[in-house]
Chains A and B, each alone.
Chain A
Amino acid sequence: MPNVPRKKVGLISCSGEDLPEGTVTRRAVREVLETLRPDDTVTLCLPLFLAGGEGERSFARYYPTIAVDGCDKRCAARATEKYSAKPAVSIVVSETAKAAECRDIGPARHLNEAGKQLADSVAGLIAEETDRLLKKPGRKTPLSAADVCGCSCGSGLPSGTVRISGRATRVAGLPLIFARFREQELGLNEKTGAALLENVKIYNEVPDSQKQAWKEALLREYAQFLQEKD
């Protein structure tokens, strides 16, 4: 049975070997993962991301990510946006170093002390952004318990509102479907999207031309639902 991803922030470092700042990205991300925020973050391997790793791309599609790049070419941020979704935060180490007037940080292979200190500073920045993202106020609640669709038999079927193709759409039965999927520990993937659509179609009219849009929207809402429950 697939595991439901926990509410975490994905960290993507460029790890570029061309510049010492690339090594700083790597060191900073590992520091956050191992020491500063081990329970709140996961790393998404950029090479795997670029090579088509579906797990990495799916995660970044549904969860907030922080891209950490060494230079203004911003490979990690651009790759995340190209293959998944725009990163919630983009940090460029060369800019951080410039602002801190940190010039000589050693070679890419072995950072000097200043380079390691810069990595510590960047790690602190990542941790702050992680906290901010996980406590983000005003997040849209996808489902409202008060939303209940009437039924001719007199019973109430809870519903939720989902934005589909830019339009807020009432979806009957959604809370129950999501809750059941969560109990079954169904993860965020194509198969789950298809299964969600099939279940939703039992209570709702879904035009053939809109099936893909519904599937994507349902998966997106399901990801938010899991985030809020976990």
Chain B
Amino acid sequence: MSGTRRKMSVVPCSGIGKSLGAAAREAAFILAEDLRPATTKIVALSLLVMGDEEAEREVAGGEAVAIDGCKLECAAKGLACSGAARVHKVAVFDVIRRHRGLKPGGVCDLNEDGLRLARATADEAAKIVDDADAEGGHA
């Protein structure tokens, strides 16, 4: 087996209308830059859906994590159409239910609760990445 493993693609929705979309985006950065930089890589949803070859290559045939802010699950839908072999869904709107009391606010600059929500979302995503890594699914 090669020493270099393929990184798992992380695609946040980055919705601009609500704080939950911003939390999804921030969670992706926390995951790919702080928690699991060696095993994950962010792929921009806009590039992917608009057919950017490099973005498609990153995703094709591998496992990927979609981090969505709202129930419309735009990131998961975009990934599903982009050749990913398996799409793991992480939903900020579900994570917030498990962290009652958080009141995320702001979009460009999330408030403290928004950042906590992003961190909690990233933690859940990291567990998914670790489980997949243990299975060797995205190697």
Q: A residues touching B (Cβ–Cβ < 8 Å)?
A: 13-18, 22, 26-27, 29-31, 43, 45-48, 50-53, 73, 75-76, 78-79, 108-109
Is B42's CB under 8 angstroms from A43's CB? no
Contact: A51 with B25, CB < 8 Å? no
Closest to B73 in A: A51
Q: How far is the CA of A29 from the CA of B15 in the complex (A)?
A: 12
In the complex, chain B residues whose CB is within 8 Å of the CB of A15: 14, 16, 25, 46
In the complex with contacts A15-B16, A15-B25, A48-B74, A79-B49 CB distance below 8 A: yes
Chain A CB within 8 A of B91 CB: no
Complex CA gap A52/B74 in Å reads 9
Instruction: Let me know if B45 is at the binding interface, CB within 8 A.
Output: yes
| Given contact pairs A30-B108, A47-B13, A51-B77, a sample of 14 additional A-B residue pairs in the complex whose CB atoms are under 8 Å apart | A13-B16, A15-B25, A18-B47, A26-B107, A31-B108, A47-B14, A48-B74, A50-B46, A50-B49, A51-B72, A73-B47, A75-B49, A75-B50, A79-B49
A17 in contact with B44 (CB, 8 Å): yes
Q: Is the CB of A45 within 8 A of B21?
A: yes
Interface Cβ pair total, 8 Å cutoff: 85
Residues on the A chain within 8 Å of B26, using CB: 109
Q: Which 3 A-B pairs have the closest CB atoms?
A: A47-B74, A75-B46, A51-B74
Bound-state Cα–Cα, A17 to B13, Å: 10
Least distance between B114 CB and chain A CB atoms (Å): 14
Considering the chains assembled together, what is the distance between the CA atoms of A45 and B108 in angstroms? 14
Q: Is B90's beta carbon under 8 Å from chain A?
A: no
Q: Answer whether A16 and B47 are a contact pair too, CB < 8 Å, given A47-B74, A73-B52.
A: yes
Which B residues are within 8 Å of any A CB, using their own CB?
Answer: 12-17, 21, 25-26, 28-29, 33, 42-47, 49-50, 52, 72-75, 77-78, 107-108
Residues of chain A within 8 A (CB-CB) of B29 are 17, 108-109
Residue of B nearest to A16 (CB): B44
The CA-CA distance from A27 to B108 in the complex, in Å, is 6
**Residues of chain B lying within 8 A (CB to CB) of residue A51:** 72-74, 77-78
Q: Which of B42, B46, B74 has the largest count of A CB atoms less than 10 A from its CB?
A: B46
**Nearest opposing residue in chain A for B13, CB measure:** A47
> Contact: A29 with B44, CB < 8 Å?
no
**Nearest B residue to A69 by beta-carbon distance?**
B46
Q: Which residues of A contact B47 (CB under 8 A)?
A: 16, 18, 73, 75
Which chain B residues lie closer than 8 Å to A18 at the CB level? 42-44, 47
Q: Which chain B positions have C-beta within 8 A of A31?
A: 108
Chain B residues whose CB sits within 8 angstroms of the CB of A53 once the complex forms? 72
Contacts of B46 in A (CB 8 A): 14-16, 46-47, 50, 75-76, 79
A30 touches B44 (CB 8 A): no
11 examples of A-B residue contacts, CB within 8 angstroms: A16-B47, A26-B14, A43-B17, A45-B16, A45-B17, A46-B16, A47-B46, A50-B50, A51-B74, A73-B52, A75-B50
State the CA gap A16–B107 with chains docked (Å): 15
Q: Point out the residues of chain A lying under 8 angstroms from B42, CB to CB.
A: 17-18
Residues of A close to B21: CB separation below 8 A = 45, 47
**Pick from B14, B16, B33, B72: contact of A43, CB under 8 Å:** B16
What are the residues of chain B within 8 A of A73 when measuring CB–CB?
A: 47, 50, 52
CB distance from A8 to the nearest CB of B (A): 14
Count chain B CB atoms within 10 A of each CB in A16, A26, A75, A79 and give the residue with the most.
Answer: A75
